[in-house]
Structure 1
């Protein structure tokens, strides 16, 4: 049974979601909220598998809610956004919500939550100004600190995220990512080559991007 939290500041919109979800016997609506603060409180109390979240809320955006939720896999619900103001991220449902798109979104969430199979990682929401990327951790090759912000290197894009590197590091899988230097976190799967400079420091080739490590080979071995 998939436990669902409805997050929308319009009561009629929440009623419409209830109507649409009523035809899905494997879905249980466990609560409602009309703000980010209310959604955080309800999510902590009810531990839903999914939150259907309106993009625009009185105290912020649905994207702010995504960043405020805990990253622990067992605690954080999947988010599917709804909006009446044009297309958004790939999983966003445009109002009035199409029943087939809703069913497809529920199916994708069920797969990610491991309902009937292995559980997948929660995706990362990366924001560069008004643009957003919702990506798998495996899709990020490298994070690089730029002052108080962080550059994320994706295939075909390099958005500048308005969050410090240390905050992003706390959200990453330590088995996939390594802190290579004070300014760099690398995806280990994208490290093509490791070389050593004359002073003993290591140089990584991360998908064609050079990264100098502030360490010596003997330090890495230990």
Structure 2
């Protein structure tokens, strides 16, 4: 398991290195002292796991995750317990409060190994999950759970489970990254075909898609023709 340590405090990074030395199955892929450096290292090193401080100068750990197209698994490490609830809302593996205790870290690493073993192999170009921060609420969402993206100004509204948060991404950006199972229905909608229950002809050469939650999405005439040509 390849780990990237992200913490602005040099002594905190050194302590994590010391604790991780007791785990031969863990490789420290790199270290970053701020979010900007971490973004570059995630892209270059492709770690399996982040040991991530929450509060850092310039940009927080949550800001870092929001900037990543395909965030790794995360264990938060921080001195501030007020962030605990927000951390667990994002479905992080664990939240370790400093000073970090060796047994707590060991248990968190075991959970990380179990979750990573369940990941299905996927093309590296296709994100397995997205991090979404909308106000004070945050989520890690596996892309397969997302039914629909809906354009909302400079944002995309994300439909998954019973949630409808906003993501600071354009539909064009999402379409480029998410692979062939997500199809552009119109300027306003990007649909996950795995969540389409039925498809029928609409007016003027359009198509009407009914999603698994009962929502209906109209496919524009031009894009309907492309879908038919692709055999969908």
* TM-score (norm: length of structure 2): 0.79
Q: CA deviation at 1:118?
A: 4.5
* 1:195 alignment partner, one of 194, 197, 200: 200
Is 1:103 the counterpart of 2:103? The answer is: no
- In 1, distance between residues paired with 2:177 and 2:55? 24
Counterparts of 1:1-222 in structure 2, within 5 Å, are 2-44=1-43, 46-69=45-68, 71=70, 77-86=72-81, 87=84, 88=87, 89-91=90-92, 92-96=94-98, 97=100, 99-110=102-113, 113=116, 118-119=120-121, 122-172=128-178, 174-207=179-212, 208-215=214-221, 218-222=225-229
Looking at secondary structure, tell me which structure has more helix per residue.
2
- In 2, distance between residues paired with 1:151 and 1:122? 18
* Helix, strand or coil at the partner of 2:204: coil
Q: Deviations over 1:55-87 (max 9, x none)?
A: 22212022332344464xxxx754433233331
- Tell me if the contact between 2:75 and 2:96 (Cα under 8 Å) persists in the aligned partners: no
Q: CA deviation at 1:109?
A: 3.9
Looking at secondary structure, tell me which structure has more strand per residue.
1
* Helix, strand or coil at the partner of 2:209: strand
- In 2, distance between residues paired with 1:139 and 1:98? 34
* TM-score (norm: length of structure 1): 0.82
- In 1, distance between residues paired with 2:183 and 2:80? 39
Provide runs of 4+ in structure 1 moved above 6 Å: none
* Helix, strand or coil at the partner of 2:169: coil
- Tell me if the contact between 1:141 and 1:154 (Cα under 8 Å) persists in the aligned partners: yes
76-85 vs 28-37, greater mean Cα deviation: 76-85
Stretches of structure 1 that go unaligned for 5 or more consecutive residues are none
Q: 1:218 to 1:180 in 2, by over 3 A?
A: closer
93-102 vs 193-202, greater mean Cα deviation: 93-102
- In 1, distance between residues paired with 2:175 and 2:220? 18
Q: Deviations over 1:105-157 (max 9, x none)?
A: 43454456559x84366321011122111011111111101122211111111
Q: CA deviation at 1:95?
A: 0.8
- In 1, distance between residues paired with 2:182 and 2:121? 19
* Helix, strand or coil at the partner of 2:138: strand
- Tell me if the contact between 1:93 and 1:101 (Cα under 8 Å) persists in the aligned partners: no
